[in-house]
Chain A
Amino acid sequence: MGIRVENLRYAYGSKLVLRDISLFVNAGEYIGIVGVSGCGKSTLLKLLAGLYQTQSGVVEVHGACRPEEIRKNVAMVMQNTVLFPASIKENITCGHPMSEEVIWQACKAAQLTEWITSLADGIDTFVGEQGGKVSGGQAQRIAIARAIARNAPVILLDEATSALDGDTGSAVLAALDSLTRGRTVVSVSHRHETLANCSRIYKLEDGRLHSL
């Protein structure tokens, strides 16, 4: 099923940020998009995630074209992780019914098990407002666990590995590896070297995609 983007244009008011973008990603393929800050990478990713409504052109993700349908097929991990002011468990389930087994498998794949078991309230620990009570690395792994638990066929990564530090970086990378294995992945970054795992890399420049 994969991803199909044809003649996609998107503008903020009169400023055109994406011009006639066409992109095909096969199911199970891992591609990367690189570009400088403000070139429209995140906008493209939000369109692929069904967060923005297309203005012209086609976006088809895993056979779905309507944004609300697209959203059912994707999971997304961003550099600036946003957590709900709720418990770790609720951040993973997002309030949906989910078995304990699935939750703990997601935690294990996201390298969270050890840390969670060390907490007094365990998986029911409150993460604070905007994740204020957990570190950046822990927040990102919770976001990855959330994406794993969703079991979506398409994974979108927005600068997911751009701000990793030495201590937690390897844990996050391992978690990301669990998340992306066997799935269709689009990863965007402003640094070329963070897209080493990609089978194809594109550069987004002046609103257009160029194959590298």
Chain B
Amino acid sequence: MIRELRKLFNITGMLRRFIILTLLRCPFDALYTAVQALFLKHAFDAVNNAQTSSLFITCILFGVGNIILFLYNGTVWTVYTAFVTNWTAVLRRKLFRHIGSLSLRQIEMRTVGEWITRLNSDLHAATAMLNQPIHIPHAVVSLVNAVVSSVILASADMMMFSLVILFAVPHMLISRLIVAKPMTRLATDVQEAAAENASDMNAIIVCAAEALIYDAQSFLLRRFEESSLNIRRKSMRLQHRRALVNSLIPLMGMSGYLAALLVGGSRIAGGAMAFGSLTAVLQSRGRMLVSLMMFINSMINIKTALAGVRRVCDTMDIRPEDRDVA
């Protein structure tokens, strides 16, 4: 994955700016997690101790904290989107120019549908890595957030942290095995089916006269339908894997929550823990799991988009035969 990404950034450049801007996006989620956990802890402590004034102060501080955080996030987001648009434009320009520099023989070696797919779908998939939600930036942000949540959780209650890890690790492993790993292959299958379908569409337009004379429109439509159904079949294979991961979220997440509640409950009963601390722990646990989930989903999407990245890199790797043009 890293190799493909490096290849992609070799084409476009701007890697350093991307790293800086992505890192600048990281503090928001981590700080938001910390602010929320602190807010819940202090608010529930105030409620349990029946201190209304303390509850008021906690709420005011939470409001002010949020204003600062969202102001920061909005500013970074604005700069990041301008950068990503510029990056996408560079990639688009380079790919277009590169295909334009190939010889007619090289172009004719592949089908029309294949070239159109490389210029459109593959390019969209590759740029999605940076400009679509739940891709690289979210992977980095969620990883940082997961680490921060883990640190908060571990420093607050090591036993609870171990319990959360006990449920989170199998979840991540299963997700990786059944979804992330085969995702690139499944996505490549879909892209190939789309290219085949585009070729069948091309035949409907280009072979129109022959189809009319030989009454073959239904034959061409049937072929198109078959390739379109093939896209659906291939996409459903991919979607099925996603559904499996989505079903794991409640299974592992809710059972982990229940286990944390039961353990926390017995410790509260034993006087070793306050209810406010339990809510803060649960909040950090929730943020940690959400971040891990976002990380898993980002990795799945990145793997899916990698199919496009590879095809874009493959296209850029074709050495033009027309030296004068190249």
The answer to whether A and B touch directly, with their CB atoms under 8 angstroms apart, is: yes
Known A-B contacts A95-B219, A146-B214; the reply to A46 vs B202 at CB < 8 A is no
| CB 8 Å contact bits of A168-211 with B (1 = contact, 0 = none) | 00000000000000000000000000000000000000000000
Q: Mark B108-123, 1 if CB is under 8 A from A, else 0.
A: 1001110000000000
- Stretch of B25-33, B204-212, B298-306 that contacts chain A: B204-212
Q: Determine whether the beta carbon of B212 is less than 8 Å from that of A51.
A: yes
Given A95-B222, A129-B199, also A49-B112 (CB < 8 A): no
| Number of B residues, CB within 8 Å of A | 23
Does B76 have its Cβ within 8 Å of any Cβ on chain A?
A: no
| A84 near B212: Cβ-Cβ < 8 Å | no
At the interface, yes or no: B220 with Cβ under 8 Å from chain A?
Answer: yes
Q: Does B246 contact A (CB under 8 A)?
A: no
Instruction: Pick out which of these stretches binds chain B: A10-18, A30-38, A69-77, A106-114.
Output: A69-77
What 1/0 mask marks residues of chain A from 59 to 89 whose CB sits below 8 Å from any chain B CB? 0000000000001101110100011111000
Q: Is A150 among interface residues, defined by CB-CB distance under 8 A?
A: yes
Question: Across the interface, do B112 and A82 meet the contact criterion of CB distance under 8 Å?
Answer: no
Indicate if B223 sits at the interface (CB-CB under 8 A).
yes
What residues on A are CB-neighbors of B321 within 8 Å? none
Contacts of B222 in A (CB 8 A): 95
- Expressed in whole angstroms, the Cα–Cα distance for A95 and B222 within the complex equals 9
Q: How many residues of A contact B (CB 8 A)?
A: 25
Report the Cα distance A78→B208, complex, angstroms: 13
Is A94's beta carbon under 8 Å from chain B? yes
- B112: chain A residues at CB < 8 Å are 129
Contacts of A90 in B (CB 8 A): 219
Residues of B within 8 A of A143 (CB): 210
B201 to chain A, nearest CB (A): 11
Q: Is B218 an interface residue (CB 8 A)?
A: yes
Contact A84 B203 (CB under 8 A): yes
Indicate whether A71 sits within 8 Å of B219 (C-beta atoms), given known contacts A84-B207, A129-B112: no
A130 interface contact, C-beta 8 A: yes
- A-chain residues with CB within 8 Å of residue B223 when the two chains form the complex: 84-86
Q: Which residues of A sit under 8 angstroms from B203, Cβ to Cβ?
A: 84-85, 129
Q: Chain A contacts of B215 at CB under 8 A?
A: 71-72, 94, 96
B206-A74 in contact (CB<8A): no
Beyond the given pairs A50-B212, A84-B203, A129-B203, 12 more chain A to chain B contacts, judged by CB atoms under 8 angstroms and listed by A's residue number, are A50-B213, A51-B209, A71-B215, A75-B213, A76-B213, A84-B219, A85-B199, A86-B223, A95-B218, A96-B219, A129-B111, A150-B214
| Interface residue ranges, A against B (CB under 8 Å) | 46, 49-51, 71-72, 74-76, 78, 82-86, 90, 94-96, 129-130, 132, 143, 146, 150
- Listed in ascending order, the chain B residues whose CB lies under 8 Å from chain A are 108, 111-113, 199-200, 202-203, 206-207, 209-216, 218-220, 222-223
- 9 smallest A-B Cβ distances: which pairs? A95-B219, A94-B216, A94-B214, A129-B111, A85-B203, A82-B207, A82-B210, A76-B213, A84-B207
